[in-house]
Structure 1
Amino acid sequence: MTLSQQLLEEQEIAYEAEEGQYTEEIDRLETLPLAFEDGSWSVEDVEWIVRWKSSRSIGYFERNGPEEVKHLVDDALSANSVSEKVNILTRLDGVQVRMASAILLFVNPDRFTVLDWRAWDVLHENGYLPDEMPDDPSVEDYLLYLGVCWAIANEYDVSLRTLDMALWALGGDE
């Protein structure tokens, strides 16, 4: 398969049909960036993101105290670099690099995308990424992935979120 603007836009529609939380996801993508920007976000908002990305992680995430979540997320929001943001978020129980990328998506969907094995596989199979995704991706792996996604979104004139949804849909079954 060759990526194209048409294919990516068609697969965004397929994502909507496949993803059970699509409506709430879209609602959260419209409200959470502003909440993170103005400081009105809640620990429950972050818990929702954790469940959205991987419900298996919620038990680990719930080990964090609300003050710790507030403190570390605020620190990540004020950090200057992507790697610093990810490193801070991964200090939370239940948050590894992939989960940190999901939190960042809801902070700014125009700048961040979710590190996901389905999407990574599509990019690897199409020659955009040299290797398969590691079992435990590093911050550097996310930076590579994010840079590739920025370039592809720019090349095919689609939003980063459209690309993310399309790659997830193209990645097939979990």
Structure 2
Amino acid sequence: MELSEPAVRDRAGEYADSEPLYDVERQHVETVARTFAGDEYGRRDAQWIVRWYFRRYLGDYPDGDRREREEAFRDNDFGDVVDALDAAIEAIRATDGDALDGDETADESIAALSGDRDVDAALSALAALDGVDVAVASGFLQFLAPERFVAVDRRTWRVLAAAGELDGPYPDPPSVADYRRFDVACRSVMERTGVDAWTLYRALWRSFSVLSDDSTAPEDA
């Protein structure tokens, strides 16, 4: 599995031609950040992302599990949803390095410069909601900052692992620390290929089809 710039751009283009949800996804990529930054959004706007996370599998995700998660999210008090979104937005708006005050250890300074603290806070705020775990929370981050974050799931993880960008099988469910590892791998590919996170997500999702057709690919990659 290769994640060169031509391969990433080609597969992202194939995604647009082959995935039935592409048009509505693209619309949300363009509007979600502005919507949630304002005061005039409703429960359904937030529910869309939870529904998207599971329904993009087009029936391949267990229906009972999907319904349970969607119903759990609907049962959240809407004020709690707003508070979680506000906290996540505030966390990912922070400029890399803002957390530095001169008193950090070397490891803490590296974490602050890479944005790990912000990612932790955003994921934790969202994952506190019923029906949302770190994986679904990463879906929120993908739409809140589509140039920066890729949603983690078994498919995107497996492609990165097959390309040698990430070690180990998909952790089900992933922890915040697991997402940080995934995020570092995504950023490495983005920096090398010059693409943004939304482009990389489409390339990874589309690459899973290529990987699945390869009989030599390990099943638990």
Q: What TM-score do the two structures reach when normalised by structure 1?
A: 0.92
User: In structure 2, what is the equivalent of residue 63 of structure 1?
Assistant: 75
- Percent identity reads 34
Matched, 1:164 2:201: yes
**Selected match of 2:180 from 137, 140, 143:** 143
Whether the aligned pair in 2 keeps the contact of 1:115 and 1:145 (CA below 8 Å) is yes
SS of aligned partner of 1:71: helix
Whether the aligned pair in 1 keeps the contact of 2:36 and 2:85 (CA below 8 Å) is no
Alignment CA distance shift 1:104-1:53 (3 Å): same
- For 2:185 and 2:39, the matched residues in 1 are separated by 30
Q: Which amino acid aligns with 2:182?
A: Y
Q: CA deviation at 1:102?
A: 0.4
Q: CA deviation at 1:64?
A: 0.7
Q: CA deviation at 1:161?
A: 1.0
User: In structure 1, what is the equivalent of residue 12 of structure 2?
Assistant: 12
Whether the aligned pair in 2 keeps the contact of 1:129 and 1:145 (CA below 8 Å) is yes
| 1:123-138 superposed matches below 5 A | 123-138=160-175
Q: CA deviation at 1:39?
A: 4.0
Alignment CA distance shift 1:105-1:8 (3 Å): same
Q: How far does the alpha carbon of each residue in 1:44-72 deviate from its partner, in whole angstroms, 9 at most, with x for none?
A: 11100111111413112111121221122
Deviates more, 1:67-76 or 1:162-171: 67-76
Q: Which amino acid aligns with 2:79?
A: E
Larger Rg: 2
- CA RMSD, 1 decimal: 1.5
Q: What TM-score do the two structures reach when normalised by structure 2?
A: 0.74
- For 2:6 and 2:31, the matched residues in 1 are separated by 28
- For 2:36 and 2:8, the matched residues in 1 are separated by 28
Deviates more, 1:29-38 or 1:117-126: 29-38
- For 2:153 and 2:14, the matched residues in 1 are separated by 17
